[in-house]
Every structure is written in structure tokens, then in C-alpha cells.
Amino acid sequence: MTTMRAAAMIISWMTILPLRVRGPVSRESAGRAISCLPAAGSVVGVFAASLAFLLDLAGATPLLSAALVVAGLAILTRGMHLDGLADTVDALASYKPAAEARQIMREGTVGPLGAGALALVSLVEVAAYAQLIEAGAFAAIAAVGIVSRCLPVFLCRRSIPSAEQGGFGPLVASTQGPASMTAQALITLAAAALAGESIASASGRSIFVEHGAPAVSLGICMCAVICGVAWLFTKVLGRHAVRRLGGISGDILGTAIALGAAITASGFAILAG
């Protein structure tokens, strides 16, 4: 499978864009597709940043713009990562044995804890995007989409098994080797550089005391640290999933996206504030 075909496949899986990728889905093709998840992140990020810019240009308040961006992202992605977050929280918070916890994830119903997690994460994202919109750091919003879609790929490395025998997890679990891990790290650093330049250049009220090369360099370094925090959280999530559930699943990957976006957006917003 070519890289372009793999990228088209993952974009068709992760968004509502009508990209047609014909042919059977094998473990090999799914592994290639998941390694291109940052391509879907780029689509999501550019969409969010463009929508935020247009709403701001039209005169919408930062809070309203941010709320519409979060709603638009949920529509664009079919809310897949939000569904994964709710299912994961309900399963892990049940404190039931692995088999029963996995059954809770498969049922797809949202319990009170899952609903609470959705509300809190959405609230955090709205507040963070509002801060970035007010600062004019639209490229940082795009970077959130990219970084958050790199994180699940780290959970598909060869040392982490699948928690299920069927579904999405077995198709992508343990498919990513060192080359893919290196690529995701480089893409994450590039996104951090994009966010750091955007924040340092756009916000006069940020922690950066002056514009220019020193401020931009500091912004890039601090954004890289924030991305590192998101990566460490994802690593902890993966270890906990293996210990409690026996491995990863599609819901775990969705949780990594949802919480990774909230962490990176919050960190970027603090820098821009």
C-alpha cells in the first residue's frame, strides 16, 4: 500500500470526508494507515484553525468561536474519539475484572462518569481554544490537531498488545516499529515549532517578553515540553490499559486523542495567556 493510499484510508476512517479506498483491510494495510494518522490530524487541525479564524473575522466572540470549533470538530470526526473517551472512563472506573471492563466498553452506552468526562474535556477545550483565538494564535489550534493524532500511534508500538480479539484494536495493535515512532516524534516536534512560533508572534500578553528570535525560540521549546507532557500521559494510559484491560483497543486510541488534545490545547493556551 502506498503512503498516499494509507493516508486516504486513515482520513476516511477518522473524518466524514468521502474518500473512497477500495479493497480489503488487512492488518498490514491498517498498520500503514495508522502510521499516517497525523495526516488526518492535519486535516482536523487546518479545519479547526480555519473555522476559528473565519468566526473571529466575522466578529464572533472568542468563547462562541471556540464552542463552534469544538462542535465542528465533533461533526467532522463523527465524535469517534469522544465516544472512545466515554467508554474508556466507564470501563476503567468500574473497577471490574478485565473481561467485564472490556464488555462495558463494547456496550457503547454512556454512564454518568463517561458523560462527566465528556463534559469536562469539552469545557477545557472550549476554554483553551477561546484563549488561543483571543491571542490570534490560530496556527497553534492547527498544531493541537496534529499532535493529538500522533499520540495514538505511540500506543500501537510493538510492545503493546491488543485487548480484544476482534474490532479495530487487533488490526493496528503492535504494528508500529522504531521508524514509525521516530516519524511521529519528528512530526510532533514540527507541530510544537508551529505552535511556538504562532504563540510568540501573535500574543502581546503572553509570557514572552518580546517578539523576535529569542521569544520564538522560547515558545518552541515550551511547546515542545507541553507535547512531551502529552506523550508521557499517553504512555501512562497505555501501561494502565495493558494492566487493567490486557492491551489497547479503538476506545483507548480515541481516549488518547481526546485527552491529548485537551492537554496540548490547555498548555498552548496558558502560554498565550
Q: Is the pTM value of this prediction over 0.75? A: yes
From the first residue on, what is the mean pLDDT of each consecutive set of 10 residues in the chain (273 residues)?
A: 86 89 82 95 98 97 98 95 94 90 86 93 98 95 97 95 85 94 96 91 56 66 94 96 93 96 96 86
The answer to whether position 96 is within a domain reads: yes
The answer to whether position 16 is within a domain reads: no
What pLDDT sits at residue 206? 46
- Overall number of domains in the chain: 1
What pLDDT sits at residue 3? 81
The answer to whether position 46 is within a domain reads: yes
The answer to whether position 2 is within a domain reads: no
What pLDDT sits at residue 73? 97
The answer to whether position 25 is within a domain reads: no
The answer to whether position 6 is within a domain reads: no
The answer to whether position 30 is within a domain reads: no
What pLDDT sits at residue 205? 46
If one counts every other C-beta atom within 10 angstroms of the C-beta of residue 50, the result is: 15
CB half-sphere exposure, 273, CA atoms < 13 A: 11
Query: Is 96 exposed, middle or buried (CB count within 10 Å of its CB: 0-12, 13-18, 19+)?
Result: middle
Integer Cα distance of 26 and 29 in angstroms: 5
The answer to whether position 26 is within a domain reads: no
Task: Look up the domain containing 73 and give its range.
Answer: 39-272
